[in-house]
Amino acid sequence: MSTYLKNLNESQKAAVLHKNGPMIIIAGAGSGKTRVLTYRIAHLMNQKIDPFNILALTFTNKAAREMKNRIAEVVGSSEAKNLWMGTFHSVFARILRSEGHHLGYPSNFTIYDTQDAVRLLSSIIKEMQLDKDKYKPKQVLSRISSFKNSLITVKAYFNDPELIEADKMAHRPKMGEIYHQYVERCFKAGAMDFDDLLLRTNELLTRFPAVLAKYQDRFKYILVDEYQDTNHSQYLIVRALADRFQNICVVGDDSQSIYAFRGANIQNILNFQRDYENVDIFKLEQNYRSTNNIVQAANSVIEKNKTKLDKEVWTENSAGPKVKVMRTYTEAEEGRFVASSIFENKMNLQLKNSDFAILYRTNAQSRAIEDALRKKDIKYKIYGGLSFYQRKEIKDTLAYLRLLINPKDEEALKRVINYPARGIGTTTIDKLSVAANHYKKSIFELLTNLNNYDININGGTKTKLNNFVTMIQHFQIEAQSKNAFEVADLVVKQTRLIRDLESDGTPEGVSKVENVQELLNGIKDFIEEQKQKEEDDSLAFFLEDVALATDFDSEKKDDTPRISLMTIHLAKGLEFPYVYIVGLEENLFPSAMSMNTRSELEEERRLFYVALTRAEQQAYLSYAQTRYRWGKLVDCEPSRFLEEIDDKYLEYLTEKRQEPVQNKYINEDIFGSVPQNKIRFKKPIQRTPIKKAATAKVEFRPPKKLKKITKTKVSNSNLFDNNITVGNIVEHTKFGKGEVLSIEGTGANQKAEIRFASVGVKKLLLQFAKLTII
């Protein structure tokens, strides 16, 4: 038996050894799905299947690289190199480079990232003189994206009265027209956005049977990881390609489907057996990643979801410590708790930074955590913030490179035509944009022959435009004899981009110069690597690589071990010995925007399941009682997910907090409308029934049936007479909100120690303090 098969249990082995035909591996988190997929590919190659005939689709490019390296260990790197492996976007971008001409695209088409797309939509909305508050470019883009992912073309849109009506109802009657303009402009610019890479692939495979046949023939074996998060467009591509040989192997976990908001369709995995004939189903239920406490805690939450396939996840791993829960007063304190805990664990258990991950629901949460980590001098790395390639100076440099490769690239041109400043104003650019539309030419084409067109631009500006064009053309000529690095180097020098950044003189300016330098180093490395692999080392290929780089791919080469900070969405498929999940608060996690329907809430729950199952040895869950959100300090209540975990797997590091009543929706039937400060002194509030009412039973009831208890203003005399008590949340006119920590003295001498989010702990004489219980 080959050695790699020894590293598999019986069910895993069966899946690896499965012969031909459709198969689905449906299994819980950490049960070895990705390992099986990897070994299966190695096994196929051992069976003399040509790697050119194997297509493997992964969730990130990093995952593809890791898989390739593993496979190389088994079959040798020269063979593994020939596998078709990558994300949907990168694999099909590659195919579109050679086949896009059927659809009228040049092989050097540009890939527009989200920022390019938003900029283009902004100009379209402006040119159409629409109200940009009604037509918010980001929202318009997400609507267009949903059309594309459902294969609704512009024509299909205008043939669908329901869609038109829906946009009218949403006060965006011009949606179809914007969509039309956007598609035209991208096409004219020789550009595809991310969704186009899938949409155009579908178009290619449906409209050109010979092309379809060619790729069906090539991809005799197709394997897809994280199948639960494929969208309709991806689903159709896989179906079309697998149709001939039906050697399709998909791997996924319906409980980890977390991208519905981006069009992922959980039905793809649920319907697999319907879509293909004679499907062999493999279930993997043994978790190898996590301790039993983590596995069971995660199971106890996910079982609350109604939509799911039946599967049991268990482990032979030791019980391990319980999942620890921490309540803090503020988000800053939460950050400090996480940082101290990491520090202690590192010291006590001799761990490395790379053993830790901190996961959150939204990017904004990282700031408080970062502050605390920095104070403790713990090195960290954020994934998914503004990644290296999204920084302005990098995008500007890349825009020059894009433009010389594809002069039709309108967004690249607009980025750099007046950067560094050369006296070409926005009015001129707008005029050019309108004229380009009118003459059905690209802006660059107009610029090469300005006098042939009727555009109202004065002589001085014309000279400036001519100089710009001459410079770009000069780069194009140089690019024919120079390699990618030399061209880039020439560009940053001759455009005076570096000099512009240097002249700024601030530390930020210096770091920007370093970043551009780092980009050049990156291009150098790229050329070396590609040469070694005997792969394409052209500038065009570099640009494609960058355009499709996910957050993990833009990691700088750096040997310092760092803690990983990322959103839960990005953590999919990864594992870390110690995981901190922060911000477990209602309205944050689950997110306020996902509580309207059962299916949204179930997706949030799956997200929590994904988060918890990243942990190998220990998970920490934390929540703050107050948090700044949208510039305001808000009270938070613990997430329902904490309640949903079976208590026997939890250890509370702080007392479970008795819920303050304020800011909470309470069922009137239970409490009537007694003012809240009166309730406080009655029997302790039965937290569980309220919570249950707010979650399990009333979960999907519209909020109007629930009454929000309003703030009760209490006068000062009232306060020191009777009402204020430890645990109250109060509002001070100057310090804002705070929690009463202790009370001492009586009558006029009564003082309270109050911890304010803004200024920390203060002792105040109640007689004078202007406090309101809230």
Footprint of ligand ATP on this chain (CB under 6 A)? 7-9, 12, 27, 29-35, 253, 256, 288-289, 573, 575
Catalytic residue among 113, 195, 226, 604: 226
Q: Which is nearer to ligand ATP, 288 or 665 (CB)?
A: 288
Phi-psi region of 86 (alpha: psi -120 to 50; beta: other; left: phi over 0): left
Which of 297, 376, 266, 300 lies closest to 581, judged by CA? 297
**Number of residues in contact with Mg ion, rule: CB under 5 A?**
3
Q: Which is nearer to ligand ATP, 9 or 667 (CB)?
A: 9
Cβ pair 551, 570 in contact under 8 A: yes
Paired with 284 in beta bridges are: 27
Q: How far is the CB of 454 from ligand ATP (least distance, A)?
A: 59
614 is a catalytic site residue = yes
> Judged by CB under 5 A, which of 22, 28, 137, 573 binds Mg ion?
573
Q: How far is the CB of 29 from Mg ion (least distance, A)?
A: 8
Q: Which is nearer to ligand ATP, 611 or 636 (CB)?
A: 611
**Which amino acid does the sequence have at 615?**
A
Residues 614, 323: Cα–Cα separation, whole Å:
13
Q: Is 34 in the site for Mg ion (CB under 5 A)?
A: yes
Q: How far is the CB of 228 from Mg ion (least distance, A)?
A: 11
Q: How far is the CB of 34 from Mg ion (least distance, A)?
A: 3
**Which amino acid does the sequence have at 116?**
D
For residue 28, say whether it is annotated as part of any ligand binding site.
yes
- Report what 289 binds from Mg ion, ligand ATP, none; CB cut-off 5-8 Å by kind: ligand ATP
Give 3-state DSSP helix, strand, coil % of the chain, rounded to 5: 50, 15, 30
The residue nearest Mg ion at its CB is 34
62 is a catalytic site residue = no
Residues 694, 343: Cα–Cα separation, whole Å:
37
- Report what 203 binds from ligand ATP, Mg ion, none; CB cut-off 5-8 Å by kind: none
Q: How far is the CB of 314 from ligand ATP (least distance, A)?
A: 14
Query: 492-529 as b/e, with b when 16 or more CB fall inside 10 Å?
Result: beebebbebbeeeeeeeeeebbebbeebbebbbebbee
Q: How far is the CB of 16 from ligand ATP (least distance, A)?
A: 11
Q: How far is the CB of 33 from Mg ion (least distance, A)?
A: 5
Show the tokens assigned to 115.
């920022």
For residue 27, say whether it is annotated as part of any ligand binding site.
yes
Q: Which is nearer to ligand ATP, 404 or 570 (CB)?
A: 570
Q: Which is nearer to Mg ion, 33 or 737 (CB)?
A: 33
Q: Which is nearer to ligand ATP, 79 or 285 (CB)?
A: 285
- Report what 771 binds from ligand ATP, Mg ion, none; CB cut-off 5-8 Å by kind: none
Concatenating the DSSP letter of every residue in 303-329 gives: TT-SS------B--S---SPEEEEEES
33 is a catalytic site residue = yes
For residue 168, say whether it is annotated as part of any ligand binding site.
no
Catalytic residue among 87, 110, 216, 256: 256
- Report what 125 binds from Mg ion, ligand ATP, none; CB cut-off 5-8 Å by kind: none
Helix (H, G, I), strand (E, B) or coil at 739: strand
The three-point CA angle 140-544-413 to 5° equals 60
Cis, peptide link before residue 675, omega less than 30° from 0: no
- Report what 58 binds from ligand ATP, Mg ion, none; CB cut-off 5-8 Å by kind: none
- Report what 288 binds from Mg ion, ligand ATP, none; CB cut-off 5-8 Å by kind: ligand ATP
Q: How far is the CB of 70 from Mg ion (least distance, A)?
A: 13
Region from 29-37, 369-377, 432-440, 590-598 binding Mg ion, contact rule CB under 5 A:
29-37
For residue 134, say whether it is annotated as part of any ligand binding site.
no
Catalytic residue among 99, 113, 193, 225: 225
Which of 290, 307, 230, 387 lies closest to 610, judged by CA? 290
Catalytic residue among 34, 60, 216, 618: 34
Catalytic residue among 308, 414, 614, 680: 614
For residue 34, say whether it is annotated as part of any ligand binding site.
yes
Build a one-symbol-per-residue string for 669-688: x at contacts with Mg ion by CB under 5 A, - elsewhere: --------------------
Phi, psi of 292 (to 5 degrees): -65, -40
Residues 653, 281: Cα–Cα separation, whole Å:
43
Residues 90, 60: Cα–Cα separation, whole Å:
10
- Report what 70 binds from Mg ion, ligand ATP, none; CB cut-off 5-8 Å by kind: none
Q: Which is nearer to Mg ion, 34 or 626 (CB)?
A: 34
Cβ pair 296, 649 in contact under 8 A: yes
Q: Which is nearer to ligand ATP, 201 or 234 (CB)?
A: 234
Residues 6+ apart with CB under 8 A from 536: 530
Phi, psi of 640 (to 5 degrees): -60, -25
For residue 30, say whether it is annotated as part of any ligand binding site.
yes
Query: 722-758 as b/e, with b when 16 or more CB fall inside 10 Å?
Result: ebbeeebbbbbeebebbbbeebeeeeeebbbbbbbbe
Helix (H, G, I), strand (E, B) or coil at 552: coil
Show the tokens assigned to 592.
């306020």
617 is a catalytic site residue = no
Catalytic residue among 33, 172, 322, 640: 33
225 is a catalytic site residue = yes
Show the tokens assigned to 479.
């690019």
Residues 586, 690: Cα–Cα separation, whole Å:
14
Catalytic residues: 33-34, 225-226, 256, 614
Annotated binding residues for ATP, written as ranges, equal: 27-34
Binding-site residues, in ranges, read 27-34
Contact residues toward Mg ion (CB under 5 A) are: 33-34, 573
